[in-house]
Chain A
Amino acid sequence: MESVSDVLRDADPLRHEAPQSDDERERVRRAVLGAASDAGALSSMPLGTSRAALLAGIAVIVLCVVAVAGSKMWSGGSATLHAAAVRFEVRLADEAFSPGLREARVQGSGTLVYLRPEIIVTNDDISDSQVIAGDTPSRFGIAVTFTTAGAEKMRQATAGHVGGLIAVLIDGEVVLAPRLRSPISASAVITGDYTKAEAERIANGMRVR
């Protein structure tokens, strides 16, 4: 009488299939690293399935911040607030004042930035937002994926502003204003010092139109 172990070993596909070729491995590697590095990877994506196409189209751009005092912003955060809308905006910003710019203080830092009047993307340009684990077990951030239209707006706005500042506003407050090192397109990750409840409130609220 065969044991479950024997049955599984006999049926193990890895015993009966040829080892995965280096070419296959390399194709996946290129897809992952290409899609992660820029949106242009979509056209060179090697895997042909529709799901892979969808995922490869999401070029990932990462905004990493350490928001030591970020939790103070949403001191009322709790499960009861998850459905409340959170107003999300991204704008270009400058370090020096010039006519037409609005002065704003970056939450928690005291740093002054000068916001440009044009809003690049808002809640309407978000296709998904998720809570992600932060650098410590009790802290969380938010991953934001833009719609196709939103990603294009981000790409166009940021391509000519590399080296300058970009401001992320939540409920009208500038929560971070990082310096652009490369154009941003399809998505962003805000890794902050949020509690899980705060991150959930923001992530859920971002999707409320």
Chain B
Amino acid sequence: MVDLLTVGLSRQSADRLAALFDTHYDRLYRLARRLVPTADAARDLVQETFFRIARAPSSVPTDPAGEEAWLVRVLINLRRDDWRKMVVRKHHQDEVRHSTPVRTDHEAAFVARATVWHALDRLTPRRRAVLVMYELEGLTIPAIASLLGVSAITVRWHLSKGRSELSRVLRSHGGESHGKC
């Protein structure tokens, strides 16, 4: 039996999309901002996430936790696609920035932050997301595992690898002390 439910972006689907946006935009923006270099890029990434969801709002789970997990995974997967394209270029930019002389305290602080954030660009988006969720959002390992749809062991592995990769990259950048993991 084939039974039609809706054709077109029905009122119900449009309302669902709007509700998803209103509920999850801020959370997704915060995560996106910590995964990409600029605020504009974060907004683009979140917008792209909702465009992807808009193709089939009915596919998104209806419980709040399921909704969030679904959206977070879409966002990270989209980021992964872009990350693969830019990783080589970013590597070159990092080298150029590293050679830039620092003249003032303000500049030094800015460059230090930029160095950390560029170091994060070396991590895969999923690993970076794990690090961000654990270290900055304060989520527990089981919560991250649930959000990403992976096991707690996988989250711990990403966390460990992410920390060590970040420390290694920062040390190679002239390294102030980032040895403790």
User: Majority SS of interface residues in chain B?
Assistant: helix
Docked-complex contact A65 and B2, CB < 8 angstroms: yes
Closest to B29 in A: A20
Residue among B8, B29, B112 with max Cβ neighbours from chain A (10 Å) = B8
Confirm or deny: A150 has a beta carbon within 8 angstroms of a beta carbon on chain B.
no
Chain B neighbourhood of A58, CB < 8 A: 51
Docked-complex contact A66 and B8, CB < 8 angstroms: no
Docked-complex contact B43 and A67, CB < 8 angstroms: no
Docked-complex contact A60 and B47, CB < 8 angstroms: no
Confirm or deny: B124 has a beta carbon within 8 angstroms of a beta carbon on chain A.
no
Q: Looking at the complex, which one of B8, B21, B56, B117 makes contact with A132 (CB distance below 8 Å)?
A: B56
Of the listed stretches B10-18, B90-98, B150-158, chain A binds B10-18
Docked-complex contact B117 and A13, CB < 8 angstroms: yes
Docked-complex contact B17 and A32, CB < 8 angstroms: yes
Closest to A145 in B: B55
Docked-complex contact A32 and B55, CB < 8 angstroms: no
Chain A neighbourhood of B176, CB < 8 A: 2
Confirm or deny: B27 has a beta carbon within 8 angstroms of a beta carbon on chain A.
no
User: Majority SS of interface residues in chain A?
Assistant: mixed
Docked-complex contact A32 and B50, CB < 8 angstroms: yes
Docked-complex contact B46 and A60, CB < 8 angstroms: no
Q: Looking at the complex, which one of B34, B170, B178 makes contact with A12 (CB distance below 8 Å)?
A: B34
Assembled-state Cα–Cα distance A60/B59 (Å)? 14
Confirm or deny: A148 has a beta carbon within 8 angstroms of a beta carbon on chain B.
no
Q: A114-169: which have CB < 8 Å to B?
A: 132-135, 141, 143, 166
Of the listed stretches A74-82, A93-101, A182-190, chain B binds A182-190
Assembled-state Cα–Cα distance A69/B48 (Å)? 34
Assembled-state Cα–Cα distance A180/B2 (Å)? 15
CB distance from A164 to the nearest CB of B (A): 11
Q: B134-181: which have CB < 8 Å to A?
A: 135-136, 163, 166-167, 170, 176-181
- Given contacts A14-B30, A61-B9, A62-B10, whether A109 and B2 have CB atoms under 8 Å apart is yes
Q: Looking at the complex, which one of A13, A33, A111, A179 makes contact with B33 (CB distance below 8 Å)?
A: A13
Assembled-state Cα–Cα distance A135/B4 (Å)? 14
Chain B neighbourhood of A107, CB < 8 A: 2
Chain B neighbourhood of A66, CB < 8 A: 1-3, 5
Confirm or deny: A104 has a beta carbon within 8 angstroms of a beta carbon on chain B.
no
CB distance from A95 to the nearest CB of B (A): 13
Q: Looking at the complex, which one of B17, B18, B48 makes contact with A55 (CB distance below 8 Å)?
A: B48
Docked-complex contact A1 and B180, CB < 8 angstroms: yes
Closest to A111 in B: B2
Docked-complex contact B181 and A141, CB < 8 angstroms: no
Confirm or deny: A9 has a beta carbon within 8 angstroms of a beta carbon on chain B.
yes
Chain B neighbourhood of A14, CB < 8 A: 30, 33-34
Confirm or deny: B86 has a beta carbon within 8 angstroms of a beta carbon on chain A.
no
Closest to B159 in A: A4
Chain A neighbourhood of B14, CB < 8 A: 33, 36-37
Q: A158-209: which have CB < 8 Å to B?
A: 166, 175-184, 187, 189, 191
Q: Which 3 interchain pairs have the tightest Cβ spacing?
A: A182-B8, A11-B116, A178-B4
Q: Sample 26 A-B pairs with CB under 8 A, ordered by A number.
A: A7-B170, A9-B135, A20-B39, A20-B43, A24-B43, A28-B25, A28-B47, A29-B21, A32-B17, A32-B51, A35-B51, A36-B9, A36-B51, A52-B44, A62-B7, A62-B8, A62-B10, A63-B4, A64-B4, A65-B5, A68-B1, A132-B59, A135-B58, A166-B7, A177-B4, A178-B6
Chain B interface residues toward A at CB < 8 A: 1-10, 13-14, 17-18, 21-22, 25-26, 29-30, 33-34, 39-40, 43-44, 46-48, 50-51, 54-59, 112-114, 116-117, 131-132, 135-136, 163, 166-167, 170, 176-181
